[in-house]
Amino acid sequence: MAQDSSTVRYDEDSIRSLDWKEHIRLRPGMYIGKLGDGSSPDDGIYVLLKEVLDNCIDEYAMGHGKSIEISMNEGKVSVRDYGRGIPLGKVVDVVSKINTGAKYDSKAFQKSVGLNGVGTKAVNALSEFFKVEAYRDGQAAWATFSKGEILEKSPIESTNKANGTLVEFEPDGSVFKKYNYIPQFVENMLWNYCYLNAGLTLEYNGKKFLSKRGLLDLLERKTDIETLRYSIIHQKGEDIEFAFSHGNQYGEEYYSFVNGQNTTQGGTHLSAFREAIVKAVRDHYNKDYASEDIRQSIISAISIRVQEPVFESQTKTKLGSIAMSPEDDAQTVRTFINDFVKLKVDNFLHMNPDTHNALKKRIEQSERERKELAGVKKLANERAKKANLHNKKLRDCKYHLQDVSFENHQETMLFITEGDSASGSITKARNPMTQAVFSLRGKPLNCHGLTKKVVYENEEFNLLQHALDIENGIDGLRYNKIIIATDADVDGSHIRLLLLTFFLQFFPDLVREGHLFILQTPLFRVRNKKETIYCYSDEEKQAAINKLGGKPEITRFKGLGEISPHEFENFIGEEIRLDPVILDKESSIKKVLSYYMGKNTPDRQLFIIDNLRIEKDIVEEKVLEEVGV
């Protein structure tokens, strides 16, 4: 029963002051964004690593140290740089006193990533174990902490170690529940640092990362070079670097950075860059091309360095509107980028006629495709609008019906299910504030090799596209996580593949930006009268049997519809298990889809035969073991 607000006491005892570590632990989202479990690249455990690395990168940018060593082992992280090292008398203060650091002095750190003196304090407060050790000119000092509380500190002592700083931490399991570092996300972060700091060597668990050509290397790694319509245009100036080309994929693909920080949500600099490319192309060809035709199929990157950047949050994922430097209010980031891009693109296209012609053909192709789709889109939009009046395919979440803060959007998710029984169970078990459900009817169409026209002509795809609001790109994506929830059988796997094909074929940027996931659901329920254990593998099932002893009841779930709504609450709430769909460096979308979803090929037949042989061998080995051979 709600308490009457008129009876709540409000006096001096109601006011309390939190110290720095209490506030960080009470409101971690203010400092590191969402917590997460590591299944998304912007989850908190990666922000902790980034905050430590940013300090090392700032040292390198100031000309100190050419390598950084990172190691991870069972959740424990170690980062060692070879910069100047923290001044020994301040080793404790810089990691435990809020608003303490060197970056308030712009002479020491002109164009630094971290400016607020908060980063390592947040890592300290949110770590079960935290250690900092500094080495300077033959001397060293160290300190250890737990959840921000100091455990031990050393006096200044002699050392033979090279100058620099070592930070070790282990995220607090009570804050980051069942977290797991995914190596691909860590490696992607490290590659970005390398692209933006050419010549810097990063070593991660023995593997070395190094870039010599900056953003040119980034684009070559992120795309299949064979699919590009012309060689990458790469230009670099003081405090700015950009690169771009066009391919044949759908959508637009951008990577943006400020002072070495990957601004995943863009901001002023990215908006200016997108506008600048359009303006530069229009002026060069002296033709008023539609902006969407110019940017269709683009893959690009922009990096700038500014003094005292203003980010919209502590996680520094979006740049605000600022001047290039405090002394130059007139030259905004927008005008700086626009002037540089316009000049460089115009000059390059004049000097490279092959690129000039190839870009023109790509734009004109996009223009033709857009006009051909116009009629189909109009009819499809009308059908979708009409269908939504009586549509039970989408059970939306209340987030979109209420005035909620942007932070809540991070928690929004859409489950794509097969059939009414599965969607019914999830709908009853979900959190209606942030979780929505979209129900498929039968198996989706295999859209490999088809044009985007099929998205509008196929009712299932058309309604799904409108439910996500991605017709014109993912800027308006209504849910932060799109979760494919299918049965753990052959048909479920087939539907999963068909949906993956749809997203990769027509909305690859949605996958690249980490919005697509596969829902893990338990295969078995093992229980006795006292305890119930849900198991996601044969190994977990055997462990549960051993734990419960005797002859527990074992249920094998054949489909999501067999799992009751009451049970589903365990699997889509705080304990939800998600497998992110990750595009590796080596993943060419065209080749992947052709291999798995194209016509039968000898390569795929051999793959199936080899894997069946492996499965057969495993079964034989298990049988032999059981009979004692």
Which pair of tokens denotes residue 265? 């949500």
Share of the chain above pLDDT 70, in %: 81
**Helix-then-strand count for the chain, H and E:** 21, 25
Task: Specify the amino acid at residue 254.
Answer: Y
Confidence of residue 622 (pLDDT cuts 50, 70, 90): very low
More confident call, 549 vs 596? 549
Q: Which of 108-112, 265-269, 594-598 has the weakest average pLDDT? A: 108-112
* Domains present along the chain, CATH in parentheses: 21-209 (3.30.565.10), 215-369 (3.30.230.10), 393-521+567-598 (3.40.50.670), 524-556 (no CATH)
More confident call, 99 vs 95? 95
Q: How far apart are CA 238 and CA 241, in angstroms?
A: 8
Task: Specify the amino acid at residue 62.
Answer: M
Q: Which long-range contacts does 370-378 make (Cβ < 8 Å, 24+ apart)?
A: 370/290, 370/292, 370/293, 370/296, 372/453, 373/452, 373/453, 373/456, 376/453, 376/456, 376/457, 377/456, 377/471
Cβ neighbours for 479, distance < 8 A, ≥ 6 positions apart? 412, 413, 414, 436, 468, 515
DSSP string, 116-139: SS-HHHHHHHTEEEEEEEEEETTE
Summarised one tens digit per residue, pLDDT across range 557-582 is 877 877 888 888 888 887 788 889 88
pLDDT at 511 over 80: yes
User: 3-state DSSP call for residue 539?
Assistant: helix
- Cα–chain-centroid distance for residue 460? 27
Cβ neighbours for 14, distance < 8 A, ≥ 6 positions apart? none
Asked whether the beta carbons of 458 and 439 are under 8 A apart, the reply is: no
Q: What is the 3-state secondary structure (H, E, C) of 403-451?
A: CCCHHHHCCCEEEEEEHHHHHHHHHHHCCCCCEEEEEECCCCCCCCCCC
pLDDT of residue 16: 54
pLDDT at 499 over 70: yes
pLDDT of residue 152: 94
pLDDT of residue 2: 47
pLDDT of residue 411: 82
Q: How far apart are CA 262 and CA 256, in angstroms?
A: 6
More confident call, 190 vs 455? 190
Confidence of residue 110 (pLDDT cuts 50, 70, 90): very low
pLDDT at 274 over 90: yes
Summarised one tens digit per residue, pLDDT across range 198-228 is 889 999 999 999 999 999 999 998 887 888 9
pLDDT of residue 310: 65
Q: How far apart are CA 55 and CA 193, in angstroms?
A: 12
Confidence of residue 593 (pLDDT cuts 50, 70, 90): confident
C-beta atoms surrounding 317 within 10 Å:
19
Share of the chain above pLDDT 90, in %: 37
User: 3-state DSSP call for residue 462?
Assistant: helix
